[in-house]
Amino acid sequence: MDQTTANSDGEPRPLPNNPQAYGQSSYTGMSYQVGNGNITVVSPPGAYDNIVHPEDPAAVGEGKQHSQSPPVYSYGMEDSAFNDATIRRGFIRKVYLTLMIQLLVTVGIICAFLYWETLRRWTWANHWFSYTMMAAVMVLILALSCCVNLRRQVPLNFIALSLFTVAEGLMLGSVSVYFAAEAVLWAVGATALVSFSLSLFALQSKWDFTGLSGSLWVFAWTLVSFALLCAILRSQYVYITYACLGTLLFSLYLVFDTQLIVGGKHRKYEVSPEEYVFAALNLYLDIVSLFLLLLQLIGLCQ
């Protein structure tokens, strides 16, 4: 079909819906011959607007179709991963299941050091074992904290976390042999009670502890400085004060980490659901630190 028409003078004219020829223009009524047939298109007089490619979209259809612009996307309006309750519950379940397995393995290793007399005597005779396990624990903590791929990639994250749990259990067992079995059991019970109570408080409280990371960091370095003072003074009362302050610090850290994991509308910060290994590691370190400080406090009081 030809794309031009002829007027009464015989000159070719483009079709009226050709945007390049007309755009927005006005014309009086004209007759157009379409193709070689006998079909004639008659347009009434009036203003003609280019409706094929309108320059003003709001003018077409009285602005009903094009009057509203598309919504502006804002990077601050993304939905958090914790907005989905299913994802959050699955993440919390995975974290606490991993934590319970870690704690059970650790308690089993400590009991082996306490009640296996041969192992207990061997640990007394080989002081290097405690320092070796301490160094291994520090290396694994740094690896899990700094290497994102290590703690997110399955099964490497579970392998690394298992090695860390065993090394931590061996270190705690080698430390426990220097205390009476009764004191160690009291420390285990007190740690379980304190941890459970603080976890319930963190879950139910509307107070937001997730914004206190800087304050807790300052408190921790202050406690390190106080530990150096304890090494110089060598006073039992100073040791008791240090153990009490350390228990307070890691109690706050336990509440802090629990609220980071649980999240919610009252929390300023949240842990990503992909960081379940890192979240379990944080809670485990908080509980282990509480155990060591309570064990020290019970031993000093006895």
Q: What is the predicted pLDDT for the residue at 264?
A: 56
Residue 151 has pLDDT above 50, yes or no: yes
Residue 10 has pLDDT above 80, yes or no: no
Q: What is the predicted pLDDT for the residue at 215?
A: 87
Q: What is the predicted pLDDT for the residue at 188?
A: 93
Among 11-15, 82-86, 143-147, which is the least confidently predicted range? Answer: 11-15
Gap between the Cα atoms of 203 and 200, Å rounded: 5
Separation of CA 231 from chain center: 38
Q: What is the predicted pLDDT for the residue at 291?
A: 94
| More confident of the two residues 207 and 169 | 169
Among 107-121, 200-214, 257-271, which is the least confidently predicted range? Answer: 257-271
Beta bridge partners, 286, equal: none
Q: What mean pLDDT comes out for the span 160-167?
A: 93
Q: What mean pLDDT comes out for the span 69-94?
A: 60
Phi, psi (degrees; rounded to nearest 5) at 68: -100, 125
The Cβ-side half-sphere exposure at 46, using a 13 Å CA radius, reads: 5
Gap between the Cα atoms of 137 and 289, Å rounded: 13
Gap between the Cα atoms of 44 and 221, Å rounded: 87
| More confident of the two residues 193 and 65 | 193
Continuous segment of H or E residues that includes residue 22 = none
Among 161-170, 262-271, 286-295, which is the least confidently predicted range? Answer: 262-271
Residue 74 has pLDDT above 60, yes or no: no
Residue ranges per structural domain of the chain? 4-69, 87-301
- Residues 28-41 have pLDDT tens digits of 555 555 555 555 55
Phi, psi (degrees; rounded to nearest 5) at 4: -125, 160
Confidence class for position 248, pLDDT limits 50, 70, 90: very high
Confidence class for position 20, pLDDT limits 50, 70, 90: low
What contacts 183, CB < 8 A, 6 or more positions away? 295, 298, 299, 302
DSSP assignment of 251-282 = HHHHHHHHHHHH--TT-S----TT-HHHHHHH
Detail the DSSP E strand segments found in the chain: 4-6, 12-14, 25-27, 30-34, 39-43, 46-48
Confidence class for position 71, pLDDT limits 50, 70, 90: very low
- Tell me the CA distances in angstroms from 96 to 38, 276, 278, one per residue in order: 83, 9, 12
| More confident of the two residues 151 and 113 | 113
Gap between the Cα atoms of 292 and 287, Å rounded: 9
Q: State the CB neighbour count (10 A cutoff) for residue 142.
A: 10
Confidence class for position 72, pLDDT limits 50, 70, 90: very low
Q: What would you measure as the largest C-alpha separation in the chain, in angstroms?
A: 119
- Residues 260-279 have pLDDT tens digits of 888 655 555 667 777 888 88
